Each structure stands twice: as structure tokens, then as C-alpha cells.
Chains A and B, each alone.
Chain A
């Protein structure tokens, strides 16, 4: 059952991601991204990482994407002109590179899937609750947590400095 759900959500996730990239209307792309994040959250649930899954919905699909949508609407971005299509004399090398990349990637995925099917999945129980995540964050992952806080401080300083009219 889990395996079927995994493939279902993976397919939806990939489809949504392709929709984001290929769509020429920014608003549709943003909505597609929300859908992709929802599917990603479903993947977390399948891994029994419930708290991370909820955060994914609340923070990414919720808060951050609403911000994206606001920015796109405020900037009033016009839908892009239809692009000349992937098959174009100027783009043949691009097509070949993409083909090589995709076939290599499929090969890789196939290998990984085969390995996954032959080896049992690890027991992920006991990492899903808020308490577990919190404890891991403040014991074994204390240092990454603190560095990440420095990182956010820097990003905040940068945003204020670069975006303010007069500092």
C-alpha cells in the first residue's frame, strides 16, 4: 500500500514540478508549486515524519507561497510570450544534452528503485513527533541549528540593507 502511494505521490510531484517550469503564466506556476509542496508533504507523511509534513504544509505551501503569490500579483507580471519550442535549429545541442541527462537520470532512478526493492526499508518510527524533532534539534543537531540561526541573521541583515531606500 505504502509503495503504491509512494509512486502515486511521486508521479504527482514530478508532474506538478514540470507544470511549474513549463507554464508561461507565473500565477499558474506558483499554484503548481503549492501543489508540488503538498505532494512533498505527503511523502513526509509516508516516511512517518508527521511533524515535518505538517510544517511543510504550514510554512512552505502556506506562508511562503502566499508571499510568492503576493509578489507576483503586486509586480503584475504579464504572461510570457509563447517560447519558440524545444525543437528549433538553435536548440539542437540543448535537446541532446537534455536527452543524455534524462536517460542517465532514469538509469540512476532505476538502479535506486531496484536496490530499494531488494533491501528492507529502515524503521522510521520514533522520529515523527514534535518532541522527537525538538530533542534531536537541541542535542545531536545543536551545532547545525545554531549555525542556521546565524545564517538567518545574515540573510535578514542583507535583505534590510539591500532593499531599504535609505539606510
Chain B
């Protein structure tokens, strides 16, 4: 190990140290504990500075991690997501008197896991990153120990997650058995130069890997846990759950496919095609029937996983770029949408139904406007960045000229039309219906930065997308 190895993991180290400090503070400090959130934010800011202060590129720790534009782009998304989750959590935890150091510490540990998933250039690190992301989430989902729903969600997530981890690990074992390697490049080498024990074993290993990824990003039919877990988890955690793991899972999925398995596309594209088509259709059609906003957004995130799977399937430079853009916009938008839900739901989650949103425009014009913006961007209307994300992904698929890809885009666009219905339902309720009671909603000032970033990214990058396009192009470029 050399200094450059250590330097390559400095952002993660900063986050880990912050998390440990938070755990100590938890023991020492009596409530009220407003400093906890600020400590966590300070750690994230430090990690962000370190990420940019050390402009090193290349492979470290014997090629186990690779630092490039791709990992940097994603790490910035992860840190913004983590910071947003901390800010949303502040009013949320205070309301229920659960302001605890473990909460922020676990959030930071999960962020470290995501960062390693993006940096990983070896299946060992990918697996450990995935686990370091998953285990804190199992705990955080069950953070409200006195709520039965929260416990139920945590147990469901843990059991199914452990199962999918088993698949993932078995896949890695088969791949290692067949190719003799866990390093991404070495696996590709073995496949290209026919240095594998048995091609069928490699494909079986890849198939099991696919199951593990599909579970993490909730592709149909591996999405069964998503609605229950998203609904049962504390809303501030649902915000993190529906963005962070999904972005990290898709990023790692894309990188593994492009770096190691691009040459075997003809064997698996059919499976991913069906998964993508099923995921967006089931996600959107089921979301129509939901009255509970948390469940609706959960199915909406399933549907978005379907659109993103199109980008993975196509696997070209253009689609990788489209995916980077899409992931950045999706993460911020969904985080903001859940942030609004967390602020509106009230004590003990009373107003989660769509009726609770009636006349919200009069009770809290700011929140209503933010929520409308998020919904419009998720539905993919111009001039929001959500439209551009969809445009980049779908046009990359059409540009390949492949008939199957074009049909998939047709299905995706039909699905986007369906999704307009359920995205606009809360908007109609907020602006065109009478509120049940006229009392203005108390507004937490802490969460305002989250919403401002949302406005900046959704509208700013929707109208002037060049900056995000440039970094997205650079990120996609380092995969090829």
C-alpha cells in the first residue's frame, strides 16, 4: 500500500470518521441534539472537498478500485443525496423525538457503501460496497422501533435482501470459478480470449449477478418488497431508499456490464429487454391505483427503474451518458418529492392519502409548488430536466437502429403517458380542490436547501443543461 492508495479513499475515510464521531456524541451529548445533523453535514462537505481536492485518476489497491470521471460524478450525486437525506431528517426526527446519532451515522455508512460501489473495479469490492449500503438500510427502515409497520418493513427487507445477497454472491463464485478472476478487466479478458472454464458457467454467474442487481434496483418481478418497505419505513428514510441504492445499483450494473460483459450481449439482452418492459408497465399501471402517496411514489420509482434498464440494455456511449444525466435528475427529484411528503404527513403519518393534499396550495404555496415541479419532472414534461433525461436515454436507444430497441422505446413512451395521470392527481388535488382545514402548514426552514437544489437542478439544468451534460459525457467516457 502506498500513499496514493490511501489518498484514493480519503473521502470515504472522512465519512467513516464523521460517523464514528457521531456515535461517540450520541453517548456524550444530552438532548436537544441539533448539532448531530450539522456534524454529519460537515463530514459530507469535507468528503466532497476531498473528492475534488485530489484529482487523481487510475486504479488503486491492486486495481480493486478505479477513480475516474465516472466514480467522481456518481460520488457527487451520492453526497448530495446523503446531505439531502440529513436535511429532510432534521424536522422529521425532531417531530417524533427520535433525534439520535445512530441515524446519521448509519446514513453515512450507507453512503460509503454507495461510493465504493461506484469506485469498485473488482467484484469483491462491489459486493462489500453493496452490503455496506444494505445493512445500514435494513436498520434504518426499522428505525421507529415502536411502530409495527416499520418493524415489518425492516424484517421483509432484511429477509428478501439476504436472499438476493445470496444470489449475488453465488454469481460471483461461479464467475470466479469459471474465469479465475474477480477483477472487471480480467473477467473481460477471460471471456474475450476464451480463458474461461465453461461459457455456460460464466453466463450462469452473470445471471445470478443480474438477479442481485435487479433486486437492489427493484426491477419487476424482483420488486415485491419495494411498496411495503417504502411505505413502512420512516419517510425520511424512504427518500434515501428510493434514490441512493437505486442510483448506486444502476451505476454498478452499468459499469459491470460495459466493462466485463459487453461481449456476451447476445446471450442476455432478451432477459433485460423483458425485465425493462415488465418493470415500466407494472410500475406505472400499479401506481395508478394507489391512493397512498408513499406507495404511489414507490411504484413510480419502480417504473423509473424500467426506463433506466433501457439504458443498461442499449449499453452504448450515448445511453451511458443518458443514464448519468437521468440518474442525477432522478435522485434529486425523488428526494425532493419524498421530502415534501415527509413534511406534510404530520405526526404518526396521518395525512399520507391523496385526500390530505387537497387544497395544499392554499395552506402552503411553497410546498405545493415544489411538489408540482417534482411531479412534472418525474412525468417528463419540458422544460424540466426530467424531460431531457428521458429524451437522452430513449434517443440513444432509437439511434442504435435495432427494431427491438425501438419497440422498447415505444413501450416506454406509452408508459410515460400513463404516468402523467397519477403524477398529476396530487397536483389537481392541491390546486383545484378545497382544503379540509385552512390552517397553514408549519414550514421547516432546515429542509429549504433541499428544495432549492431541486429547483436549481430540475429547472436550471432543464433549461441550461450544458454543465450537467459535460460532466455526464465525461463520466460516460471513462467507461469506454
Contacts and interface: CB of A to CB of B under 8 A. Distances in A.
Nearest to A148: B128
A155 B198 contact: no
Contacts of B1: 139, 142
Interface stretch (B129-137, B231-239, B288-296, B434-442): B129-137
Contact of A144 (B124, B138, B180): B124
A144 B204 CA distance: 25
Given A142-B61, A162-B139, A147 B109 contact: no
Contacts of A167: 100
A6 to B, nearest CB: 14
Interface residues of B, number: 37
Contacts of A98: none
A162 B145 contact: yes
A103 interface: no
A143 B16 contact: no
Contacts of B16: 150
Interface string B111-129: 0100010000000110011
Given A115-B197, A116-B197, A162 B132 contact: no
Contacts of A119: 197
Contacts of A143: 5, 9, 61, 64-65, 125
Contact of A108 (B9, B100, B105, B200): B200
B125 A147 contact: yes
Interface in B173-206: 177-178, 180, 197-198, 200-201, 204
B106 interface: yes
Nearest to B203: A108
Interface string A138-161: 011111100110110111011001
Contacts of A140: 62
Interface residues of A, number: 27
Contact of B200 (A111, A122, A139): A111
A158 B136 contact: yes
Interface in A120-134: 122
A84 interface: no
B82 to A, nearest CB: 15
Contacts of B139: 154, 157-158, 161-162
Nearest to A142: B1
A144 B65 CA distance: 10
Interface in B199-216: 200-201, 204
A82 interface: no
A155 B138 CA distance: 10
B142 interface: yes
B45 interface: no
B125 A144 contact: yes
A159 B197 CA distance: 41
A158 B106 contact: yes
A112 B177 contact: yes
Interface string A58-70: 0000000000000
A155 B23 CA distance: 14
Given A115-B197, A142-B61, A154-B109, A162 B142 contact: yes
A154 B106 CA distance: 7
Nearest to B112: A150
B129 A147 contact: yes
Nearest to B200: A111
A167 B129 CA distance: 28
Given A115-B198, A155-B135, A147 B142 contact: no
A105 B61 CA distance: 36
Contacts of B180: 122
Interface in B61-94: 61-62, 64-65
B228 interface: no
B102 interface: yes
B469 to A, nearest CB: 33
A107 to B, nearest CB: 8
Contacts of A151: 128, 131-132, 135
A144 B125 CA distance: 6
A144 B61 CA distance: 10
A82 B211 CA distance: 32
Nearest to B109: A154
Nearest to B136: A154
A128 to B, nearest CB: 18
B339 to A, nearest CB: 24
Contact of A161 (B9, B102, B116, B177): B102
Contacts of A157: 23, 102, 105-106, 139
Contacts of B197: 112, 115-116, 119
A147 B128 contact: yes
B201 A112 contact: yes
B145 A154 contact: no
Nearest to A161: B102
A146 to B, nearest CB: 8
A154 B204 CA distance: 32
Given A112-B201, A140-B62, A144-B125, 10 more contacts: A108-B200, A111-B201, A141-B124, A142-B61, A148-B128, A151-B132, A151-B135, A154-B106, A158-B136, A162-B154
6 contacts: A108-B200, A111-B201, A112-B198, A148-B128, A151-B131, A154-B139
Interface of B: 1, 5, 9, 16, 23, 61-62, 64-65, 100, 102, 105-106, 109, 112, 116, 124-125, 128-129, 131-132, 135-136, 138-139, 142, 145, 154, 177-178, 180, 197-198, 200-201, 204
Q: Which 6 A-B pairs have the closest CB atoms?
A: A158-B139, A143-B61, A147-B128, A115-B198, A115-B197, A111-B200
